[in-house]
Amino acid sequence: MNYKKLIVFSISFLAVFFGNIIYILSCGGGEMDPYDYYISYFNTYLKGQGYEPFYFTSLSDYYDEATPDETTVNVQDWRNYAGDKSVSTDDIYRYIYKFSREQVAQIADCSTKGQNCSLADSAKNNSFALYLANPKHQEAARYLLYAKDCENIVYNPDPWVERGDQSGAMGDLYEEGKGLLANVKDKDIAQRYKFQLLRLTHYRKMYRETVEAFDRDFGKAGNGNLIYNKALALKAGALYHLRDTVNAAYLFSKVFAAEPGLREMAFLNVKWTHTAAVDIFPLCKNNKEKANAVALYSFQIPSVDFTGLRMAYQLDPGAAVLSAMLTREINKLESELLTPRVAAMGDSAGLSLGYYSYSYFNQDAEGISYRDSATALQRFVDDVAQKGKVQDPDFWKVSAAYIAFIRNDLSGARSRLEKYPVKDPALKDQWELVNLLVTLNEQKRLDAAFEAKLLGSLKWLDTKLGQINPDGYWYASDKNLFFNKAMRNILATVLAPGYHRQGDYTKEALIRARCAALHLGVPPYDAVNMVKDEMSAEKLIALYDFLRSGNKTDYEKYLVAYFPKDISMELAIGIAYMRVNNFTAALPWLKKSPVKQQPVSYQVWTDQLQDFGEDTADARHRTPITASQFCEEMVRLLNLTKKPPVSAAVYHKIATGLFNISYYGKSWSMLKDYRPSTLWYTASCEKDPFERQYFGVYDAEIFYTKAAQAATDKEFKARCLFLAARCAQKHVPENKDDKLYYLSLMRNRYFPVLATNYNQTAFYQKVYGQCSYLQDYVSETRRKK
């Protein structure tokens, strides 16, 4: 066995196999879902419409688009302008956002000429086009053509084309627009022209002129519609470029307050001003504006901190934005307080829940500041819920109960739930969910009586599940899949660990199966993995008997319906027995399992002078050997060992079978679906009977030794001794000192007898050339002499 060769092989294997992947990971990819990286039971979409970009996620810049977005509002404004019932918003949308310049030009032309011109089909089928084609509406039709022309100059439709400075083209358009505006009588159309002209001024970097133009054309109006707000944003931007950052920030905050579709833009622009809320307070006209400013700046803060929320509430308790701010604080506490606690509870049950690396998390030292923050938030929310001055009092009541749950104050949560029944239907579901969570956590033991109640809750959750889009490229957000996530979290982080702690592995497997059936993210292992990797034969038999038993409770029947049908429990049990070398017990189970599903080997009976390699059919190994056949042969051989005298060949064959199904053998797939190349024997393997054999190959060594003792042929004896030496090498304890580790490998207990008594055999000559440990041992011995 050549240590050096192995290292080279491993590194090359790893490098070739993983080299690309490692490098890709180090440059990107392997990232967490920005909407699902912590345990959350609080729906971000409950209250807070219009502030969707600012829902909490610390892994993504913005959460979602605001409602209503700019397109929707613009289309609605045109609909209101038209005032004609026959004009549909769909058609308006298509006309403005999808029609080409040619199509729009044709309509404008028809409208201006006033004759019955023939329209293209696309226009004939569009109610808004027909409306515009009417000469009565020619101002609107002409305007939309002008707007289209501006769009093509103001935005570069093709990023691959460097257009250079567009000031000339913009100047021309400006003059054209001015001319058109002079003849417009309709106030709304005039306002839109003024907006376009304003934008062309701003984009030509004429900032003073932009400010003047806004004050002149929009200053008095202030009717707060979309066009006005877009114009206001242009003035604010101009002020920013003129270095008047405070005024700019103030105006952007007004845009932020007025127009959901422009909030993201206003928020980003305020960040550029590098101001704080207090900087713009002197400009705010009233407390409402101050509260809005506080809210805006608070959205910049990703850490637990409700100072802004408290201040905004004191300034304007009726503000709509408070709900969005409160939701953020709750989500932050879910991330910083709830998730670590649940993860720690999972760890204590021996289950890693997969929420990122809290292994270094020191609960007492770090968690303290979050617990204090949570307590302070609780007091604040309780106070607000009681006073009831806010826009969504029911929302604050449910929040108060949920915050108590986050703080692990279950009785506090329970009392608040009872004190605050909710009427708002949107919040009823959230109330029910919090209620369920409290009940689950209050329950000390998951027994049959509780399970009967739990069934109702699980079925209720089923009615709330959303449809997963199979083509969905991006991650799930709370909008459609909130209850799917909640159910998955309850199953994977509460119920499964709960049953595991109780020692009820059957139920744990059933819960995991139900969880996997949600197809939403990956808990550390699902039922299939559990059956194949985590359960001993005894536990599997218990599960097997349960699945076949006749009298199941309704709860059990519900769960069993989700249990995967294509797992062969018999095969799993057989392999579980094989793993602990109990071939006698394994055999009857393997005989019952479907042959097609059994692992197959070709070379399991051929001893290996080197580790690893592929177990494939070749000229010398044509016969497939199923697990069942392998087991049968092992049982037969083991029975032969009970009737002395036992031939060396029998012992040798047993040992070979045992070695070859170990981690180092070619036939490891008899016992495992997957063998990563990065595992090795460690001291902790001694604790687990499977790992002891899989990594330590103790029994294989014993049988090779017996084979050596029983053998008469010197060559064969040497062979068996060497094979035993290979096994002994596997369970050498690890040592941080590389030199000492190498020495312990070199001083293999079988080398003395091999080197002394068998060094004349042909076999010894062959392996001496291959095994550097043996060579080094021999040199060391020679030196000592």
Partner 1 sequence: MRIYLLILLTLLLAACRHEAPRQPEPAFYYWKQSWTGNPLELQYLQQLPAKKLYIKMFDVSPDAGGKPIPVAVFRQQAPLPQGQPLVPVIFIMNEVWAQLKDTAEITAFTGKTSRLLEDMAMALPDRQIREVQVDCDWTQTSSSPYFQFLTTLKSQPFFRDKTLSATIRMHQVKYRTSSGTPPVDKGLLMCYNMGDLRKAGDHNSILDPATMKAYIGSDRISNYPLPLDIALPLFSWTVLFEQGQYKGILRNIGAAELDNRELFIPQGKHLFVVKNDTLFNGYLLRKGSELRRETTNIELLKSAASLVAKQKQDYNPTIIFYHLDAATLKNYPLHELQETYRLFH
Q: Residue 388: is it exposed, middle or buried by C-beta count within 10 angstroms (0-12/13-18/19+)?
A: exposed
Q: Verify binding: residue 7, partner 1, rule CB under 8 A.
A: no
Interface mask toward partner 1 for 19-48; x: CB under 8 A: xx-xxxxxxx--------------------
Angle formed by the axes of helices 689-696 and 569-579, nearest 10°: 70
157/282 with CB nearer partner 1: 157
The Cα 363–Cα 353 span in angstroms is 17
In the bound complex, what is the minimum distance in angstroms from residue 25's beta carbon to partner 1? 7
The Cα 394–Cα 305 span in angstroms is 23
Q: Verify binding: residue 369, partner 1, rule CB under 8 A.
A: yes
The Cα 726–Cα 750 span in angstroms is 9
Q: Which residue in the set 90, 151, 366, 462 belongs to the binding site for partner 1 (CB under 8 A)?
A: 366
Stretch that binds partner 1, among 155-163, 318-326, 639-647, 678-686 (CB under 8 A): 155-163
168/456 with CB nearer partner 1: 168
Q: Verify binding: residue 678, partner 1, rule CB under 8 A.
A: no
**Cα Rg, the chain, nearest whole Å:** 37
41/358 with CB nearer partner 1: 358
Stretch that binds partner 1, among 286-294, 357-365, 517-525, 769-777 (CB under 8 A): 357-365
267/716 with CB nearer partner 1: 267
In the bound complex, what is the minimum distance in angstroms from residue 155's beta carbon to partner 1? 14
Residues 672 and 615 sit within 8 Å (Cβ to Cβ): no
9/81 with CB nearer partner 1: 9
513 token code pair: 């199966």
Can you spell out the DSSP letters for 718-768?
HHHHHHHHHHHHHTPPP-SSHHHHHHHHHS-TTHHHHHHHSTTSHHHHHHH
In the bound complex, what is the minimum distance in angstroms from residue 300's beta carbon to partner 1? 10
Stretch that binds partner 1, among 16-24, 73-81, 89-97, 500-508 (CB under 8 A): 16-24
In the bound complex, what is the minimum distance in angstroms from residue 674's beta carbon to partner 1? 22
Q: What is the largest CA-CA distance in the chain?
A: 118
C-alpha neighbours within 13 Å on the C-beta side of residue 398: 27
Q: Verify binding: residue 157, partner 1, rule CB under 8 A.
A: no
Q: Residue 62: is it exposed, middle or buried by C-beta count within 10 angstroms (0-12/13-18/19+)?
A: middle
**Number of residues near partner 1 (by CB under 8 A):** 27
DSSP label of 318: T
DSSP 3-state of 621 = strand
Q: Verify binding: residue 302, partner 1, rule CB under 8 A.
A: yes
Residues 728 and 750 sit within 8 Å (Cβ to Cβ): yes
Residues 337 and 368 sit within 8 Å (Cβ to Cβ): no
Residues 52 and 67 sit within 8 Å (Cβ to Cβ): yes
Q: Verify binding: residue 360, partner 1, rule CB under 8 A.
A: yes
Scored b (16 or more CB within 10 A) or e, 76-98 reads ebbbebbeeeebeeebbbbbbee
In the bound complex, what is the minimum distance in angstroms from residue 370's beta carbon to partner 1? 10
Q: Verify binding: residue 750, partner 1, rule CB under 8 A.
A: no
Q: Verify binding: residue 159, partner 1, rule CB under 8 A.
A: yes
224/302 with CB nearer partner 1: 302
Bridge partners, residue 601, by sequence: 625
Scored b (16 or more CB within 10 A) or e, 193-215 reads bbbbbbbbbbbbebbeebbebbe
Q: Which residue in the set 61, 118, 160, 548 belongs to the binding site for partner 1 (CB under 8 A)?
A: 160
In the bound complex, what is the minimum distance in angstroms from residue 303's beta carbon to partner 1? 5
365/619 with CB nearer partner 1: 365
Stretch that binds partner 1, among 169-177, 361-369, 562-570, 754-762 (CB under 8 A): 361-369
Q: Verify binding: residue 619, partner 1, rule CB under 8 A.
A: no
By C-alpha distance, which of 341, 272, 323, 320 is closest to 300?
A: 272
In the bound complex, what is the minimum distance in angstroms from residue 336's beta carbon to partner 1? 10
Stretch that binds partner 1, among 67-75, 140-148, 356-364, 581-589 (CB under 8 A): 356-364
In the bound complex, what is the minimum distance in angstroms from residue 275's beta carbon to partner 1? 14
356/740 with CB nearer partner 1: 356
Residues 129 and 95 sit within 8 Å (Cβ to Cβ): yes
83/159 with CB nearer partner 1: 159
In the bound complex, what is the minimum distance in angstroms from residue 763's beta carbon to partner 1? 36
Q: Which residue in the set 118, 357, 467, 712 belongs to the binding site for partner 1 (CB under 8 A)?
A: 357
- First-to-last alpha carbon distance for the chain, in angstroms, is 25
By C-alpha distance, which of 709, 732, 569 is closest to 650?
A: 709
Q: Which residue in the set 61, 121, 364, 365 belongs to the binding site for partner 1 (CB under 8 A)?
A: 365
In the bound complex, what is the minimum distance in angstroms from residue 160's beta carbon to partner 1? 4
Stretch that binds partner 1, among 15-23, 207-215, 537-545, 687-695 (CB under 8 A): 15-23
Which residues contact partner 1 by CB under 8 A? 15-16, 19-20, 22-28, 159-162, 302-303, 356-362, 365-366, 369
